[in-house]
Structure 1
Amino acid sequence: MASHVPAPVEPRDPQLGPDYPNVPREYAQTRNPLGGESGRWWDMQNRRNFGEPLHAEDEALSVWSPDVPHVPPQRALFHFSIACLCFVAYGVFVPFIQVESPAAPRSYPYDGLVTELGGLEENKARVETVDDEE
């Protein structure tokens, strides 16, 4: 069984009664999942033995609280910065990549069928001209 390093002793909380023990601040997630000193937890789900005193902030230290981070904050900020930089670089360089359209542009005779479809002269499609110099 792994040796358990005791948590540092905190200063006494003045809001607790004088007879309540000064329980160390320990996340339940860091406790051995298989059992305590007796080899098995009385409450396996919360990793607690019967009669064990609760910390004043037990709801923040329980198994159901947010996970204890395993990555130091500086390292996490570095990784987040790299991810943001990759997104920005992708957004900057993608407009420079121009791919030729696989489809041919649609063209209609008679100035885009304006008169055949009954459209207005101002709304007609682009006018195609034939270059005689070719």
Structure 2
Amino acid sequence: MSSTILTARRVGIRAALRTNRAHAVRSYALPVNFKPEHDPQLGDYPDLPYVSRQRLPALGWDDKQMRRNFGDPLHERDEILSMWGPDAPTVPPSTALRHFIIAFSGIAAFGVFCKYTLVPARPAVPREYPFSGLVTELGGLEVNKAREESIEEEE
């Protein structure tokens, strides 16, 4: 019984490592022959792979909620890699950013459409005042200047 569960666990971890190889180690900033060093503070504690429990298959575990078998050693960063840790992203960040930009562009386009096509034209002409917009009548300040009268020929 326990050998089949261990086999399922090994197969599950291998499958998760194969599918999430890009998430396991950032290879763009590391040399080609990079091998992570063993932490000397861990002593003889096993060096477990850095794979989130959310990436492992759901079946074949003694503890199905936490996706681990009883007696298995915990990873040194178990609080991050456990089922209760931060969610493992299912969409790459570049794709998520592209989707966000598309959604924001759609909302902005809808706003522009509403402003310029759905707003009706003004039913009346705005009022215009003679004598340079009634500057002297309103106190003589340019700040108080009302809309100036335009001289247009009526046809």
What is aligned with 2:43? 18
Size of the alignment, in residue pairs? 95
User: Contact 1:28/1:47 (CA < 8 Å) preserved in 2?
Assistant: yes
The DSSP-based 3-state class of the residue aligned with 1:29 is helix
Q: CA deviation at 1:49?
A: 0.9
Bigger helix fraction: 2
What is aligned with 2:88? 68
Structure 1 gap segments, 5+ residues each: 36-40, 101-134
What is aligned with 2:62? 42
User: Contact 1:29/1:68 (CA < 8 Å) preserved in 2?
Assistant: yes
Structure 2 gap segments, 5+ residues each: 1-7, 18-23, 26-34, 122-155
Aligned equivalents of 2:45, 2:62: Cα separation in 1: 22
Q: CA deviation at 1:67?
A: 2.3
Q: CA deviation at 1:93?
A: 2.0
Aligned equivalents of 2:85, 2:107: Cα separation in 1: 31
What is aligned with 2:58? 33
Percent identity between the two aligned chains: 44
Shift in alpha-carbon separation, 1:16–1:23, aligned structure 2, 3 A: farther
Q: CA deviation at 1:72?
A: 1.6
Task: Letter of the 1:45 partner, please give it.
Answer: Q
Shift in alpha-carbon separation, 1:12–1:85, aligned structure 2, 3 A: same
Aligned equivalents of 1:44, 1:60: Cα separation in 2: 18
Aligned equivalents of 1:53, 1:99: Cα separation in 2: 70
User: Contact 1:29/1:63 (CA < 8 Å) preserved in 2?
Assistant: yes
- Give deviations 1:36-62, integer Å, cap 9, x for gaps: xxxxx2222101111111111111111
Aligned equivalents of 1:82, 1:69: Cα separation in 2: 19
